[in-house]
Structures are given as structure tokens and as C-alpha cells.
Structure 1
Amino acid sequence: MTPCTLLTAVLALLCVRDGASSTECRQERAPDGGAFSGPFFDPSTPTNVTAQLGTHAFLPCVVQQLADKSVSWVRNRDSHILTVDRYAFIADERFQCFHPEDSETWTLQIKYVQTRDAGLYECQISTEPKICHIISLNVIVPRVAILGGDRDLHVNAGSTVTIQCVISQSIEQPAFIFWYHNVERVMSPASRRHWQAVERTAPDTTVSTLTIERVIKTDSGNYTCSPSNLPSASVLLHVLNGEHHAAMQDGVSAGHPAGHPGHLWLFCVGLSLVSAFLDATASRKLSARNDDVT
């Protein structure tokens, strides 16, 4: 396309958009079993596309018999012209249009999708009147959480600790999941006490497990699970030397406190109370029986 033709197409598009709502466009498809002379959208062009937060979204528009017309992508919510043919008309470099040579597909790419990118997008052909095809982009936001939900984790020195990070409601597995101790990344091969494992436990769920063996006082601090292009989740680890705490755990997963000696003490007290109650009841029955005999 020559610069003059491109400029004409953009000016025409701007004039049309100033005089009509973004949804006022015709959708033209070839009639079944009949010939059609002008451009039209191929039935294979989708109407809904779903992408995960932080990934790349691809919105394909298949146009038949385009001839000398132009293809434009327009964002519906603010009528912003994104591309005309393969030229971008937006400062946001995440948006671009791909059109392979001798192809009938004009694909709008949105890199590193954000929640604000969700909405309607129009693929327009510069006919008179204009014709367009609307695609709805849905953005999925996965949930990232430390298993158990506790913000603080208390353990005894020398025990083994496992912290699990669950990424759920995700249509794509993260490219990587990093663990950080305070501001430093935890490197599994560098430490013989730290181990990491990643498992896809369900079609929409990934679990990353950090295991720390023989914890010491310097292992205390903030541990952060950081999946690629997603929010992070953290837990604060407290390593105790002989102290007891209500949230203490001994070698079990984060968020599931284990028992400690205080539980045994409560059990013994309860057993003593039950025994005293039974003795008192038996004494009353024996006294009543003696009174009856008398």
C-alpha cells in the first residue's frame, strides 16, 4: 500500500467513526451456494478469544476477496484505531498486526495482556459503507496463593519445612516459578537443604513446592512464590530454638500446624477431671444405698 492510499484509508476511517457508533457496521459473509463479488469475512473467524493475564493474545480476522481494500483493527471501548493493514497507530507497542504474504488472515497481537485489555475489538474493511467483524477478548486472571493461607509459619530449628504455592484458574502453566528468601532468589542446586518441585495437578492448577531441610535460625524471613507474569504470594517463616508457639509446625506443609506438648497436657487434665467425676458419682450411689438399708 502506498503512503497516499494508507492516508486516505485512515482519514476515511476517522470520518466514519466520527459519524457513527463503533457497533454500527455491517457484517458481510458470502451467501450459501452463491457467488459474491466484494470482500467478506470468512465463517472461520472467531467471535470470542480467551487469553491469560501476562500472556500474548491473538485475534485472527480472515477476509476473503479483499482486493484493494484495507483491513483495520479498532478498540471498541474508546474507538481507538490500533492498526491499518500492518501499520500501527497506537503508542502502546504491545499492539501489532500480522499478515503473512499471500495470506487472507489479519491477526491482531496484544502482548502481555492486562485486565484492561478485555473487551470488544473490531476488524474493519474499508468498503463503503464499512463492514466489520467484532471479536470479544476475555482475560483470565489466575489465583496465586500459599497453601493453607497463613501469613506466618512457626517451626522448630532442625525440622523440615515444605511451603506450597498453588496457581489455580490458569489456562496456561507458568513458564517458570521462582522462590525468593527476602530479596534473594532461592537456588535449588546451590543449597543441599533447599529443593523445589513443580507439578501440574489439574488442567487449570499448578503447584510449586519449596522444601527446606534442617532449618536454622538464618532461614527465618519472608518466602515469596513468583510465577512468570502473574502476581506473587508470600509467607513469613519463623524458626524457633526451643520456644513453643500456637502456630508451630514440625515438618508438615505450610498452613497445617502440627501438635506440640501442650496438647498432651490438656488431654491429661481432661482425663483427670473425668476420673474425678466418676469417683464422685460412685460415692453418691454408695451413700444412697447405705441410707436405704438403714
Structure 2
Amino acid sequence: MTYFAYFKICNTRGLRTPTISHITQEQIRDIGGQVDLDCSVHYAQDYPVLWMKYDRQKTTEALPLSSNSGLIIRDSRFSMRFDAASATYTLSIKDIQETDAGWYQCQVLLSVSNKITAEVELQVRRPPVISDNSTRSLVASEGESAQMECYAGGFPPPKISWRRENNAILPTGGSIYRGNILKLNSVHKEDRGTYYCVAENGVGKGARRNINLEVEFAPVVTVPRPRLGQALQYDMDLECHVEAYPPPAISWLKDEVQLSNNQHYRISHFATADEFTDTTLRVITIEKRQYGLFTCKAQNKLGTAEGQVELFETIIPVCPPACGQLHYSSSASAHAHLAPLAALAPLAPLALAANR
């Protein structure tokens, strides 16, 4: 928009009062660019003409930049020139910085208390920067609502979109959601993972923040092989898969008695992720009394779950974990022990079938 300020008031000498006939329209520039701001003033030969920079929110804090055709500030990025033919005062700014954005006012000082003005806004394009008040991580219990927020500064104002890791489907549906707030009305354990808040405004590559959503849920226990057979005096591994968050306390029981590591049992846990744990109970050198039902139990603050594995007796040792396992006291007995295993090898599939 062109601003005009035209005064037809004559002073006591009969001279024409200065007028601003033209001011540059709003300017939008990239950081590092250059801009010319023109102000055409007529009948102002006897009056000071100034360029000022000011904040519209703080009009008392105006910064004088030039007076007539000379600069007031010492900044090599600024320069002034005056074209007498058009009576135009041009303020040039090169290598534009973000701080140069604002309002620039052309002033003609008529007296101590009287002036005429016109102004132009310089807007500087700035790449998005995600604000500190955006969500960084979130923990919610299954079934509860959860809300992730993302805000960003920059010019033009950035647009916000949401995505999931590996372009997985969002709980809201679809692979992209647009808006500052991503609200999940009822979270499920499948909703856990990394979410991306993306801010874009066409300047630069945009900005992204990774937001980790943790969903707390009660344990879920699965047993890959609920029935296992093994011969006396051999070892056997019983397994459970546990899914839970927070990570649960895991225990193994037989006949309602909690087991611990000793010469008969060895318990191990292997966490494949924060929510997944594989647990194994090795029954060592099986005795008759160790056959029966074993219970794998997992518990966290949200609940308890368990699974059962039955260990039953077979005549033929199951390999693994019995492969190459020897129980002997001398070299002679070792050869005697290996011979029956070799003879029974063709029957091994029958034992494996019994474990399914």
C-alpha cells in the first residue's frame, strides 16, 4: 500500500508545507538479502528528513538511522542516497539479519512538536524453530487420553504436521495429521513409539522434533511351547515371552513355590526392548520330582499375568539342550553313555513330536 501525507497549509513565509508523496510498500526478504526503502518528499529543502526504525509495541523506543542524505548509525550494512530529481531518500540494507525486521518510518520534522510521517514494514523470512513449550516426551497409561503439542516460530508462520516412525498409521488415522495438538482419546500399547512434529514454512528444510510416547500397560505373558518333554538326568529350557511397561518383576514357580538359582534351576532374563523381556528357566539334571507344571509370572503396577509350561518325562533325550551332554565319572563310562544316544537317534523325531 502507498502511503500519502499531503499538507496544504502554508507557513508564515508563504512557503509550501513539505509532503511525503511516496513510501515503499511492505517488503519481505530472506536473511542475507538486500532491500531499498524509498521515501519521496517534496518542498522539504529547509527541513530535516529522517529514517527511523521502531517497534510498534514500544513507540517510544525509535532508533534514528539517517538524517537527510547522511547516516547516523555506524553499520556497514546500511547506506543512504538522495536523488534530487525525484526528491527521494533511499535507505539501503544489505546482508539482512533477523533483527532488521520491523517498521521503518520516514519523518519530516516541521517543528519541535510537529512532523509528518509515513512508514513501511520489513519482514524477514526465517526458517522454523520449534518452541521450548512443545512436548518432548510423554508417558500415559493404557486407556487414558494423551496430548502432544508442538509450536514453532519463524516467518511466514510455520505449519505443523505429525508423523510416526517409519510412516506408521497414526492413532487418529492416516499417516499425517496437521495441527499444533495431536490428541489421542484412548491410548493403546500399540500407540507407543516415536512421533515426529514437523514445522515447515518454505524457508530452509524445516524443523523436526522427535517425541517419544511411552504407554504403561499390564503384563501380557505368552508361552511359545506350553508342553516340553525331556529324559531323566538331562537339562531342559522352559521359556516365556513377557510384554509390559513399566518393566515387570518376573518370577518362576513350581507347586506355588518361587524358584531361585541353585544346583537345580537357573533363571535368566533377556530384555529385547523396554517393553519386551524373554525369560528362561533351565531345569538342570532333571529328577522325577521336577516333572509337572511350572508357572511364569510377571507383575507391574498395572497388573499381573502368568503362563504355564508342563515338563513331562520322555525316554529319549531331546536335543537341544541335551546335545553332547555327558554325565560320567570316567572315560570308559563316557563311551558307554554315547553309544545308547547314537542308537536312539533315529527315534528322536518321535520325542520331538511329543513336545509339540
Higher helix residue share: 1
Q: Work out which structure has the larger RCO, using CA pairs closer than 8 Å and 6 or more positions apart in sequence.
A: 1
TM-score bracket for this pair, using the shorter chain length: 0.3 to 0.5
Structure of higher CA gyration radius:
2
- Tell me the TM-score normalized by structure 2: 0.32
- Tell me the TM-score normalized by structure 1: 0.38
